[in-house]
Amino acid sequence: MKIGKVIGKVVSTRKEGNVEGLPILVVSYLDEKLSDTGRSAACIDTVNAGDGDIVLLCASSSARMTAKTTNVATDNTIVGIIDSVFAGSSFVYQKSKT
């Protein structure tokens, strides 16, 4: 999986592939230090992610392995909101408790 940050969204009314009702978010890929890699993707959201959230992305056919995305035309799905990332035993990131 990849680590990403939610930076926007996509709205599409004319679409195929059983994606009705599922948000399509724009996510930038982060590296293991949570630095921006300069790459991004449009991802189906299954966890109610919001702008700025650090998220876990699942690609390929496994993008369909959630209750909401079975039979959905998605090749990249947000499957988790990340609470923390560690390098060894040190925090790289900890979600603020607000």
Residues that bind its own copies (CB under 8 A): 1-3, 7-19, 24, 26, 28, 31-32, 39-44, 46-48, 51, 56, 58-68, 71-77, 79-89, 92
Judged by beta carbon, residue 21 or residue 88, the one nearer its own copies is 88
Distance CA(46)–CA(25), nearest Å, equals 10
Residue 53 C-beta: closest distance to its own copies, Å = 10
Judged by beta carbon, residue 21 or residue 61, the one nearer its own copies is 61
Q: From 80, 81, 77, select the one nearest 65 (Cα to Cα).
A: 77
Distance CA(27)–CA(62), nearest Å, equals 18
Is residue 83 within 8 Å of 95, Cβ to Cβ? yes
Residue 50 C-beta: closest distance to its own copies, Å = 10
